[in-house]
Amino acid sequence: MFRRASKMLAALVLTAAATLVGATVGASPAYADGCYTWGRTLQQGASGEDVRQLQIRVAGYPGYNAQLAIDGVFGPATRSAVIRFQQAYGLAADGVAGPNTFNRIYALQDNDCTPVNFSYAELNKCNSNWSGGAVSAATARANALVSMWKLQALRHALGSQSIRVTSGFRSYSCNSAVGGASNSRHLYGDGVDLGAGPHTLCRLAQQARYHGFRQILGPGYPGHNDHTHVAAVGGWSAPSCGM
């Protein structure tokens, strides 16, 4: 907790310093941590691994009923997602990712690239190596990382109150043991079940529509009255929530 607070403070200090000296985007180095460091300003037309890494972090800001492609190409959809991210955190919303935007991302992530409020352990209570699902272990883990950044955006939109994860990645054996659907998105690493907490299941389902989840199943859908399920692929059904 102390490390996270220190990272946040450092990022805020550097952002304020850049503002005070009238720094332009790309004029000063951004604060970095142990995960990933961006070395250039990114804007529409750019491409590469640094763009893909940015897309992962802003995957939760695609807009209503939309999903951002994680393809390493900075197109109009990525620009819009960056703008929404910047707006959410009180930054100049110009759609250009420079030091201030990167500093905010650095403050939001841990050294393993997960957002500070979620972890790989939370997203995988099945096994230790992400194996045995419908995709390779590496793909399942990568899918879970994108889901975590979407959850971080959802959490922020809901007042930065905690979100309780009850289930994430499942191997076929884990999925069978809990009676999961044979085509469950949990097998792919991007399916996440959320339990009630500071927010009702319906509130979680309704807000999730804005944060890149194309599958949302909640109260009123068979077998989902005790949790809200979100994932990257599928449709929405939560009749008790008006969805």
The CA-based angle 141-144-146, given to 5 degrees, is: 115
From residue 202, how far is each of 83, 176, 178 by CA, in Å? 27, 27, 23
Placement of tokens 């142990």 in the chain: 34
Are 191 and 234 spatial neighbours (Cβ–Cβ below 8 Å)?
A: no
- Kindly state the tokens that stand for 95: 């759609």
Instruction: With beta carbons less than 8 A apart as the criterion, state whether 38 and 53 touch.
Output: yes
Distance CA(234)–CA(9), nearest Å, equals 39
Question: Dihedral, CA atoms, 213, 219, 222, 225, nearest 10 degrees?
Answer: 120
Residues that are catalytic: 224
- How would DSSP label each residue in 35-83? S----S-B-TT-BSHHHHHHHHHTTT-S-TT-----SSB--HHHHHHHH
